[in-house]
Structure 1
Amino acid sequence: MFKKASFLLVRFAALAFLLSFLTACGIQPANNSKEHDAKTIVINTTFYPIYIEALNITRDIPDVKLVNIAPPVTGCLHDYQLSPDDLKKMSEADILIINGAGMESFIDKIVSQLPELKIIDASRGIPLLKSEGDEYNPHVWVSITNAILQVKNIGEQIALLDPGHAAQYKANTEAYAAKLEDLRVRMHQVIDDSGSREIITFHEAFPYFAREFNLNITAVIEREPGSEPIPAELAETIDIINETGTKVIFAEPQYPAKSAETIARETGVKLYILDPAATGELEPDAYIKTMEKNMDVLREALNQ
């Protein structure tokens, strides 16, 4: 009896040592359970515009928790690096909604590390434009038409992944899409009859918007935000203004407007702020309010 007790004591001590060793090395015993209530569906969105779309689609649905990954002040995910906290949030999620179109450069990492996470691509099936080079322009949501398509994409896919709330997702999707349709009609009424069609934008956030409203982007000041143009590029933009008669430059509220201000000062063109809705308030109507402000700005800027 004494030998058997001693043997069990030795085995227990060895097991305790092994567990403490694994923990010290950062290795945790396997545990595939989510930390949230089993009834709750946790949905992650990668960044602000997709969060606002998903916020409307999941609005007032019980047992659905929506979590945004990138801070709402991040703006577009240019060179965004996932933090350990981001990965932790995703590991606790059931569904991840991405913009797609190349916006989330880290998506391969997510797929490899979290293979069971269900991913919804909001830009699936939307015709994409290319930036300079072979990369697609990911700023799909800036077009009202594309925002509607994204909302319908998310609504369809999320209902398939969470059929228990399918009817509510469908109703919310239709309600928000109708609001966006009304916004699109109102913006066309203002912009379609405007005189000037030539504009200069701060970075490549507006090609989809310009295509929808038949605007001609004659130049882009900074291809990538934060990469200020060299003097030769500034001079080229000034030449384009003189040649085309472009009357307005649009900066963005998310970035310093130093380069745009320099060009405006050198040419006498007017500088306005056009918002790509990449940051803002965390409320359901935030995108609509931002676009209504853009509509007012364009009404003035294009009718000088």
Structure 2
Amino acid sequence: MNARRLIPAAALAGAVALAATALTACSGASAAGGGKDGRLGVMSSFYPMQFLAEQIGKDHVKVATLTKTGVEPHDLEITPKQTGQLEQSDVVLYLKGLQPAVDKAVTQSGVKHVVDAAALTELEVHGSSGHDHGHEGEEGHDHGHGEAGKDPHIWLDPVKYAEVAKGVGAALEKADPGHAADYRKNTGELVGKLDALDAEFKGGLGNTASRTFITTHSAFGYLAERYGLDQEGISGVDPESEPSPARMKELQALAQKENVSTVFFEALASDKTARTLAADTGLKTDVLDPLEGISDKSQGADYFEVMRSNLKNLQKALGSK
């Protein structure tokens, strides 16, 4: 006699249902990014958001990012696979106005816990100068700016980044209340480190020979405003675009007037434009990293290391005393 015939039909049906339920639960956990270990699945839009999630979530989260190393965040195009991963995440952390493709995908995702970093602090409009809220000297202003021309580069100001960190911590507490105490502790530690970084910038840039810096990527408006500096972008909407002859002449005069010694370019982009201007004006070139990603070209392994490299390069260029 076949032994399988001895199993009652109801019992067999129950076992199948139980197995199906278990499989569904397992698949759901994996899809959410948390996997079998039960960690909270967090999808971040690009590096500064990924860093916050990792620093605050630590062992309780599994963090993925939509913007891979070496990809320009502003121009990101999301694949169908990434869209699926986004929709299956427990928490989505992004910065509205920086990446149009991400904004669209997040709106359509249906994810319950969505955190917009732009809503956690106050965004401002910055022109080529940190103290000038117009758009002089830049045709079309800087690429990737959000609604009404507001500058999304909030992470380059440690004070604003700390405000965002507090909001992210609160969001993780809500999404995973079982580990709320740890998220609060980790948030406090991160904010403390950002406060210390702010103090380093204040001290390091408090007394300099010049207050003006020239950069190919006008991403440093918040940083300039925070520490009393003036940012001058070279030209156009693209950090790699060629400056117009009129803008080149204007910057040459500005460099002489404001005692500018250095033209900054970013680590992940071409230095061609910076070197063109430097050659025509007799200036030096150096890196000022907008920290939109970390690669083997970055002057540091994480946010804090790169920011301290930026501080060091600014001090050297501005003649810190």
The two structures, once aligned, show a CA RMSD in angstroms of: 2.4
TM-aligned CA distance change 1:285 to 1:79, over 3 Å: closer
Query: Where do 5+ consecutive residues of structure 2 fail to align?
Result: 1-26, 127-134, 136-140, 142-147
- 1:20-169 correspondence to structure 2 within 5 Å: 33=28, 35-36=30-31, 37=35, 39-61=38-60, 64-75=61-72, 77-100=73-96, 102-131=97-126, 132=135, 134-169=148-183
Q: Of 309, 312, 320, which residue of structure 2 is paired with 1:293?
A: 309
TM-aligned CA distance change 1:281 to 1:256, over 3 Å: closer
TM-score normalised per structure 2: 0.76
Measure how far apart 1:117 and its partner are: 4.0
Query: Where do 5+ consecutive residues of structure 1 fail to align?
Result: 1-31
CA distance in 2: counterparts of 1:281 and 1:240, whole angstroms: 33
CA distance in 1: counterparts of 2:301 and 2:194, whole angstroms: 10
**Counterpart residue number, 1:11:** none
Q: Of 159, 179, 194, which residue of structure 2 is paired with 1:180?
A: 194
Q: Is the 8 A contact 1:202 1:222 kept in 2?
A: no
CA distance in 1: counterparts of 2:210 and 2:173, whole angstroms: 43
The one-letter code of the counterpart of 1:200 is I
CA distance in 2: counterparts of 1:245 and 1:223, whole angstroms: 26
Measure how far apart 1:232 and its partner are: 3.5
The one-letter code of the counterpart of 2:173 is A
Q: Is the 8 A contact 1:274 1:294 kept in 2?
A: yes
TM-aligned CA distance change 1:276 to 1:104, over 3 Å: same
TM-aligned CA distance change 1:221 to 1:53, over 3 Å: same
Measure how far apart 1:256 and its partner are: 0.6
How many residues were matched structurally?
268
Work out the percentage of aligned pairs sharing the same amino acid.
Answer: 27
TM-score normalised per structure 1: 0.80
CA distance in 1: counterparts of 2:259 and 2:209, whole angstroms: 13
